[in-house]
Amino acid sequence: MAGAQGSASAKVCRDPFSSVPPVRVGMKQSVVRPPTETDVARLAGVSQSAVSRAFTPGASVAEQTRTKILEAAQELGYQPNLMARSLATRRSNIVALAISSLENPFYAQVVKELSHRLAETNRHILLFATSPEVEADPALERVLSYQVDALILTATTAPFELALHCQKAGIPIVQINRASKLPGISTVSGENRRAGERVAAFLLAGGHKRFGYIGGGVASSIGKERQDGFTEHLRIKGVRTVQVAFGEYTFEGAAAAARELLGSAAPPDAIFCASDYMAFAVLDVARREFGLNVPGDVSVIGFDDVPEAGHSAYDLTTYSQPAAALVAEAIKIIDIRIARPQGRAIRREVRGEIVVRGSARVPIG
C-alpha cells in the first residue's frame, strides 16, 4: 500500500502553493483563520460597508473602489459568505434532498437532474441519504438545523414531526414518488395507476395468460397504485388471478420475489415489476436460474425507463417515468410555495408511455 503523509509545520505555512502569507490571529499562537470583510477593508484602505456593498449584487460602489476591493479580496483569498448573507435575506439557496435507494439508477438520475436544474438558478442540494427500511429516518430531523429554502424527498416519506415543523417555518416540502396523507406536503409522481392499466392491456394483447406482479413494499402507496391499475384492468377483462410478490425495491428482494413466482406450480408467463431495477433482477433470475427464454417463456415489463433499460444486456420493455420532467415539476412547486408559502399542497402527475423493447411479447396481429 502506497501513500505518504506530508510532514506538517504548526508555525509556518510552508506549502509552496501558497504565495500569500495567511492572516494570523492573536499573538499567542500562529493560527491561520479565513480572511474576513474587515481584513479586506483594511488592506484596500476602505470602509467595511464598502466591502459589503462591493459583494452585494446591485449595490452602489465606485468602480475604482470596487477594483481596489476585489484586488485585496483576491490577495487575501477572501470570499463573501453567502450563509451570513442568508441570515438577512432568509434565503440560503440551499434545497435539502432526502433520498434513499441511490443504488437504483432511477434515483441517481433524479439527483443528477435536480442538481443541474437547481444550479441554473445558483442553488444547490444539501443531501440527506436516508435508509429505505424505515419510514422516518431520524437523520432527517437534522434538516431543520440548516436554513434550507425547501425540502425535497424522494423514495422516502417526511416524518410527521418534520412536516409540521417545516409547515410552521414556511419551508415547502415536495415528495417525489411518494404519496402523503399530510395536507401540507406537495407531491410529484409518474402515472402509476394508468401505467398499470396500460401494461395489463399490452400484455393481454400479447396473448399472455398467467400474470404476476412484483411490487415494492406492502406499504408503498405508489406501488399500490401501479398494482391496482394492473389488477383492476385484468379483472375487467376477465382475469381473476394475479400472483403478487414484493421485492422491497431492492435487487436482492426482487430476485427472491422472482424465485417465488417462477418456482410456483403455475408460474406466470408475464410479470410486471414496479421498477426497472427490480425487473433487471427478475430477468437475471428467469434466464440464469430457471433457464427461461425472455420473452418466449416469460415476458417482463418494468417501470421508470432508466438508461440501463435500453442496454442490450437487459433490453427491457417498460413504462416510462421521465426523471427530468419529475424534477422540473418539483422545482416549479418549490418556487410557487416559496413565493406564496400559505397555499395548499400541490399534486402533479408526469406523463409516461410504454417503451417497447425486447423483454415482452408484443400484441399479436
Q: Please give the residues from 78 up to 97 whose contact with a second copy meets the rule CB under 8 A.
A: 78-84, 86-87, 90, 92, 94, 97
Find the shortest distance in angstroms from Cβ 318 to a second copy. 15
Find the shortest distance in angstroms from Cβ 66 to a second copy. 18
Q: Within 250-309, which residues bind a second copy (CB under 8 A)?
A: 251, 280-281, 283-285, 287-289, 307
User: Which CB, 66 or 290, lies closer to a second copy?
Assistant: 290
From CA 97, how far away is CA 110, in angstroms rounded? 10
Q: For residue 94, how far is the Cα from the chain centroid?
A: 15
From CA 326, how far away is CA 15, in angstroms rounded? 47
Find the shortest distance in angstroms from Cβ 92 to a second copy. 7
From CA 183, how far away is CA 266, in angstroms rounded? 44
Angle between helices 63-76 and 37-44 (to 10 degrees): 120
Q: For residue 191, how far is the Cα from the chain centroid?
A: 18
From CA 176, how far away is CA 190, in angstroms rounded? 9
Query: Residue 136 is which amino acid?
Result: A
Find the shortest distance in angstroms from Cβ 226 to a second copy. 15
From CA 294, how far away is CA 281, in angstroms rounded? 13
From CA 150, how far away is CA 3, in angstroms rounded? 42
The verdict on 144 binding a second copy (CB under 8 A) reads yes
Find the shortest distance in angstroms from Cβ 21 to a second copy. 10
User: Which CB, 274 or 309, lies closer to a second copy?
Assistant: 309
The verdict on 169 binding a second copy (CB under 8 A) reads yes
User: Which CB, 240 or 344, lies closer to a second copy?
Assistant: 344
User: Which CB, 240 or 340, lies closer to a second copy?
Assistant: 340
Find the shortest distance in angstroms from Cβ 107 to a second copy. 8
User: Which CB, 226 or 242, lies closer to a second copy?
Assistant: 226
From CA 280, how far away is CA 316, in angstroms rounded? 8
From CA 355, how far away is CA 322, in angstroms rounded? 12
Find the shortest distance in angstroms from Cβ 236 to a second copy. 20
From CA 200, how far away is CA 85, in angstroms rounded? 54
Residue among 9, 38, 49, 241 that touches a second copy (CB under 8 A)? 9
Residue among 29, 89, 168, 364 that touches a second copy (CB under 8 A)? 168
Q: Within 30-89, which residues bind a second copy (CB under 8 A)?
A: 32-35, 76-84, 86-87
**Binding pattern for the stretch 205-244 against a second copy, x by CB under 8 A and - elsewhere:** ----------------------------------------
The verdict on 145 binding a second copy (CB under 8 A) reads yes
Site size toward a second copy, by CB under 8 A: 99
User: Which CB, 204 or 285, lies closer to a second copy?
Assistant: 285
What is the edge-to-edge ordering of all strands in the sheet holding 270-273? 242-246, 211-215, 270-273, 299-304, 317-320, 354-355
User: Which CB, 204 or 262, lies closer to a second copy?
Assistant: 262
User: Which CB, 50 or 98, lies closer to a second copy?
Assistant: 98
From CA 306, how far away is CA 316, in angstroms rounded? 10
From CA 141, how far away is CA 314, in angstroms rounded? 39
Q: Within 98-127, which residues bind a second copy (CB under 8 A)?
A: 102-103, 105, 108-109, 111-112, 115-116, 119, 122, 124-127
From CA 124, how far away is CA 119, in angstroms rounded? 6
Q: How many other C-beta atoms lie within 10 A of the C-beta of residue 26?
A: 8
